[in-house]
Amino acid sequence: MSLEGRDIISIRDFTKAELERMLSAADLMEPLAKRGSEILKGKIMATLFFEPSTRTRLSFESAMNRLGGSSIGFAEPGGTSVQKGENLTDTIKVVENYADVLVVRHPLEGASRLAGEVANVPVINAGSGSEEHPTQAILDIYTMKREFGSIDGLKVAMVGDLRYGRTVHSLAYALSLYKNTKLFLISPELLRMRREVLEDIGKNIEVEEGRDLKKILPEVDVIYMTRIQKERFADPAEYESVKGSYRLTRADLKEAKEGAIVMHPLPRVDEVDYDVDSTVHARYFKQVWYGLLVRMGLLALVLGAV
């Protein structure tokens, strides 16, 4: 199965077989990430970040360099033609002359989709609006696969901001492609998943909502923490009242299942205590490494190198 020339806009655009292809491409990348390679020699990636995200940008640039390719682009929209009133379509029609693959991050929903429709070269969505951030979802699934060998049967708790965070929808979809997976949604009342989204997700995968992280800790294989942003709360007192229950500590993890792992898309603020870093459960920095492999694999796939 070839993914050459494909856009990576939403994880929902792909079948399970295609997702599995991406995961096995990531496997192939591990030796190349360690010793370097030239499989994309002469290829150029353009990173078009209409919204800054240093972490994601560096991950893609490192991936491209590890494959022997090179990068051009911008890290924020300041100084671009966009500020002279140019529309996104024109920008894409210009930049596609300069690169073999475009990586687009944009504050507006639908921007990466539009870029993919316009461009004659593959487009990878590095996050647009509050929509999906597909490479994050793929690296999350890849992390679980690497850590447990198989996704089937995993019990995953998503913790924190489930209302505004864009990771949960994509991940729920990806998990639903596997057998007997279960999703626990743990959040303060104010940040519960919206009713209509919950119903949509519930069609594909078993979902259980709750407020209390500690209660379900002994049950889950994956504790997926997310950042709760203070500014989401109209009343600071309300934020103060909830934040404690969603701050994971080393002490909490004594109740965790043996072999359970803690994941986080990073950056964290205080929702995962630093004393968790040295426990056997922490995987959020390993996740970064897996993310590099996944992005290497995706670049190699859409450019037809694997």
**Residues forming the active site:** 55-56, 84, 105, 133
Residue 72 as a binder of a second copy (CB under 8 A): the answer is yes
Strands 70-74 and 101-106: unpaired
Nearer to a second copy, 43 or 113 (CB): 43
Q: Which of 138, 248, 292, 306 is the binder for a second copy (CB under 8 A)? A: 292
The Cα–Cα gap between 118 and 171 comes to 27
Contact letters for a second copy, residues 82-121 (x by CB under 8 A): --xxx--xxx-xxx-xxx----------------------
Least distance (Å) between residue 95 CB and a second copy? 7
- Contact criterion met (CB below 8 Å) for 120 and 127: no
Beta-sheet strand order (sheet of 206-210): 206-210, 182-186, 155-159, 222-225, 261-263
Q: Which of residues 11-50 bind a second copy (CB under 8 A)?
A: 35-37, 41-44, 46
Neighbours of 207 (CB within 10 A): 18
Q: Which of 66, 113, 145, 169 is the binder for a second copy (CB under 8 A)? A: 66
Q: What is the CA radius of gyration of the chain?
A: 19
Least distance (Å) between residue 111 CB and a second copy? 17
The Cα–Cα gap between 247 and 136 comes to 22
For 159, the 3-state DSSP assignment is strand
**Cis, peptide link before residue 267, omega less than 30° from 0:** yes
Q: Which of 109, 212, 285, 304 is the binder for a second copy (CB under 8 A)? A: 285
Nearer to a second copy, 68 or 202 (CB): 68
The Cα–Cα gap between 25 and 45 comes to 19
Strands 182-186 and 101-106: unpaired
Q: Which of residues 251-280 bind a second copy (CB under 8 A)?
A: 266-269, 274
Least distance (Å) between residue 55 CB and a second copy? 5
Residue 148 as a binder of a second copy (CB under 8 A): the answer is no
159-193-185-246 Cα dihedral, nearest 10 degrees: 30
Which of 56, 48, 52, 44 lies closest to 93, judged by CA? 48
Residue 145 as a binder of a second copy (CB under 8 A): the answer is no
Least distance (Å) between residue 58 CB and a second copy? 5
Least distance (Å) between residue 254 CB and a second copy? 24
- Residue count at the site for a second copy (CB under 8 A)? 53
Answer positive or negative: Cα dihedral of 288, 290, 291, 296: positive
Least distance (Å) between residue 149 CB and a second copy? 22
Query: Contact residues for a second copy (CB under 8 A)?
Result: 35-37, 41-44, 46, 52-55, 58-59, 61-62, 65-66, 68, 70-76, 78-81, 84-86, 89-91, 93-95, 97-99, 227, 266-269, 274, 285, 288-289, 291-292
